Structure 1
């Protein structure tokens, strides 16, 4: 079983900073585990590594998908498996970093085997979505599979996963979360040391607010405009991510820029709360003090603890 290092946790929790430090200290290579950082051109709004950071240590999978490609947990796990194999063959350390919980779960545990669902269910759910809206179908999922609803990153906005949850429940009578949990009990695919920098909620919320302000100063609006000008569909999956969809609303004159920025901050704060809940359930996760001035040293100590 291959050994990997995993850095997970909510947005703005120093994961990328720690990944760079560990990669340099351990002769490691960084592998993306962020569902939107995988898409080419989506950099400022996802806090993707800078050009200078890319040059410091090898990075993998960042910007590897075109906007038309429908990335999912299964395809991500296959790409990450290949990257891990290549890194291990070079004798270096794979460092997985990101905040997309489902993608990390897919990588560490694999995907659950779900029975086939009758074809007629999906069209009915699409009709329901168009008729009643995102919030209504998310509320229905919360009733039939509250565990899955809590785990879905993006909540009602993540209609792909909401629809899948309802589809599986209606087609099998069993909550999708139950299939996931039964599969998780089979064990891990990698020998993973999982680290998570942590902050008090109020501190993290302030860091998120500051990060969004920094993104706007760095040119997030110009990035969105450039993506649209290049032909990217405003309804494609990465354009519906936090920060992008709100600025599209602004460009469509649906909201003011100040309101868009406020909504981005609020969305990231809510998302971070769900991320904290998700990652606390990861098997064997080791919490680190995100405010520590010796965060890198603390992480290295934890990674070496099994060897003492």
Structure 2
């Protein structure tokens, strides 16, 4: 077999595959995905629930303009912060991008840290229908008026399974569960049993979870948050705050955003806001380790300094 024929066969097999690069925030996954895309002729597909928002470029550490110009990047900054973007909406967008990549002969490289997005990609997603704005607004108005404990008590009557699973002060998820049962007449677990198939079934992908040592990761998180502030993150959050959006929207809860808004209102100092942002990000990284360990066993855990060798042995 000639070298040209072997390369053509390898390229053909490559088009049937995808690479999934996950990891905690600040672990270096974006740089790894960019390097792979350059070598393999790939397209980098955002798999991070906060990097979808165009209003949050700096505070979410989206790829830079130079990086985006180097190789194709998709699903970054394509959603307005006023949209309650969901995993289901992301899957629909990702399906289109995946088809586009394969049509162009590019290797799809999914990069991010959102476990739910990766789970939807590889295991499917529940078929919860869209919730009417009037229903969502009504539930949130009651949340503000009556408090989260009252809504949790109501949820215990209408959807006891979800109520038992959720913490009594988990405002976002309690509101979400109530929205679903109010809009559809059916509890959320019912919809979870009637899911959508995965975009990438087993055998169609290789999945890597970058697993740096915790101490080194936390130091990088702290340093990066300071660099974000030096690069204009506070101005970015000020522009977002000026829109006076619903505080329950996902974009308004991005790590660092609530604390920096408190600083802009004069409630806390800049350094206090920065420390809260750093601490929230460290806690999130810890949850990412836990989620991928228990929810996504198909991901291979690899130390950052061994990741390039993993890709080489995987022939990507």
Tell me which interval the TM-score lies in, with the shorter structure as reference length. Answer: 0.7 to 0.9
Distance 1:264 1:81, change over 3 A: same
Equivalences for 1:137-286 in 2 at 5 Å?
144-145=161-162, 149=166, 156=170, 159=172, 161-165=173-177, 176=189, 180=192, 188-190=198-200, 191-228=204-241, 231=243, 233=245, 235=247, 236-280=249-293, 281-286=295-300
Distance 1:26 1:139, change over 3 A: farther
Residues in 2 aligned to 1:10 and 1:147: alpha-carbon distance in whole angstroms = 28
- More moved, 82-91 vs 3-12: 3-12
Residues in 2 aligned to 1:146 and 1:266: alpha-carbon distance in whole angstroms = 28
How far has the Cα of 1:202 moved from its partner? 2.8
RMSD: 3.6
Residues in 1 aligned to 2:109 and 2:115: alpha-carbon distance in whole angstroms = 16
Contact in 2 for aligned 1:141/1:149 (Cα 8 Å): no
Q: Which runs of 5+ in 1 are unaligned?
A: none
Equivalences for 1:1-308 in 2 at 5 Å?
2-113=16-127, 126=140, 129-131=143-145, 133=147, 144-145=161-162, 149=166, 156=170, 159=172, 161-165=173-177, 176=189, 180=192, 188-190=198-200, 191-228=204-241, 231=243, 233=245, 235=247, 236-280=249-293, 281-290=295-304, 292=305, 294-301=306-313, 303-304=314-315
Q: Secondary structure at the match of 2:125?
A: coil
Larger-Rg structure = 2
Q: Which runs of 5+ in 2 are unaligned?
A: 1-14
Q: Secondary structure at the match of 1:265?
A: helix
Q: What TM-score, normalized by structure 1, do the two folds share?
A: 0.79
- More moved, 107-116 vs 209-218: 107-116
How far has the Cα of 1:41 moved from its partner? 2.8
